[in-house]
Amino acid sequence: MSDAQMYLVEVEKKLVQAVSDYTNEERLAESMHYSIAAGGKRIRPLLLLSTVLLFQETIPSAAVDTAAALEMIHTYSLIHDDLPAMDDDDLRRGKPTNHKVFGEDMAILAGDALLTLAFQVVAMADLDATSLVELIRLLAETAGPKGMVAGQVADMRAEKRQVDQIELQAIHERKTGELIRFALLAGGIIGKAPKEDYVALDRLARKIGLAFQIRDDVLDVISTTAELGKTAHRDEVLEKSTYPKLLGLNEAKAALAQELQDATAILTLLAQKGYTITPLQRIIEQLALKEEA
């Protein structure tokens, strides 16, 4: 178990504790806890913590708190994305979606609550005020109407029509990529990375983000619902543009491998500067597709 994964336990604790401490309506807390506990892979927190470990040997509590906030934002986006008015999905991480259990009204409010709470958790983190303001600005920018929310809108617009690779990439860079960019840049801010390293972090984040999305698209095609923990072949039902649809399955797999190779090359350069890349390297390795039996 890498150091970053060890600290994920702290992130889980923070997620549960923040919802319990800063919520005063029982049913709302249940709804928030339900989606928080629904067993995500915590890839975004892991990326944030692993980026801090590039620059520092230990993880400060502010990194744990910010990682938890990031996962709250991701969780809220899934709750809202699954709503009947949006993707209308009944299954998420192998369990009924939030609105299926708590009703649409509560799911909307639980999403709103997690989004708001994320900013509270960062604002209360133990870090100098200047860095906190920078983190909050960056979180809002990457999650908001130029970032993730814009990506959702673009994704919606792209349904039921053919888009080209450039447009598809512009959708994913915002829908998935921006929060991953937050993970790495926030890791830099909290890890007190030298200014000149942010360009590398930004490039690395874009490679990982794209790899992440292509992988998701490919898995939707080649997996079963049981394997995914969410409804498989959903993209086809929603007539979504995906990498396998646009490039063919084999080309999509090759594109994924290329992004991971580029990411590894950036990591190698960071290693040459004396930074500890092992935790990030491990995540990138796990993004590769397992060889099919």
Burial 157-173 (b: 16+ CB within 10 A, else e): ebeeeebeeeebbbbbb
The C-alpha angle 236, 242, 243, rounded to 5 degrees, equals 135
Using only C-alpha atoms, the chain has a radius of gyration, in whole angstroms, of 18
Nearer to its own copies, 114 or 193 (CB): 114
Q: Comparing C-alpha atoms, which of 201, 209, 183, 202 is closest to residue 63?
A: 183
To the nearest whole angstrom, how small is the minimum distance from the Cβ of residue 291 to its own copies?
A: 39
The bridge status of strand 95-96 relative to strand 91-92 is antiparallel
Rounded to the nearest whole angstrom, what is the least distance from the CB of residue 131 to its own copies in the complex? 9
| Minimal distance, residue 222 CB to its own copies, in Å | 29
Nearer to its own copies, 146 or 273 (CB): 146
Q: Closer CB to its own copies, residue 115 or residue 280?
A: 115
Residues 6+ apart with CB under 8 A from 200: 266, 269, 270
283 touches 47 (CB < 8 A)? yes
**Residues of this chain that bind its own copies (CB under 8 A):** 19, 22-25, 27-29, 32, 76, 80, 83, 85-86, 103-106, 108-109, 111-113, 115-117, 119-120, 123-124, 128-130, 132-133, 136-137, 139-141, 143-146, 149-150, 152-154, 156-157, 174
Q: Shortest gap between Cβ of 165 and its own copies (angstroms)? A: 19
Q: How far is the CB of 170 from its own copies (least distance, A)?
A: 9
DSSP secondary structure, 89-154, as one string: -SEETTEE-HHHHH-HHHHHHHHHHHHHHHHHHHHTSSS-HHHHHHHHHHHHHHHSTTTHHHHHHH
Nearer to its own copies, 16 or 149 (CB): 149
* Closest CB to its own copies among residues 54, 138: 138
Separation of alpha carbons 135 and 130, rounded Å: 9
By C-beta, is 129 or 293 nearer to its own copies?
A: 129
To its own copies, the closest distance from the beta carbon of 233 in angstroms equals 22
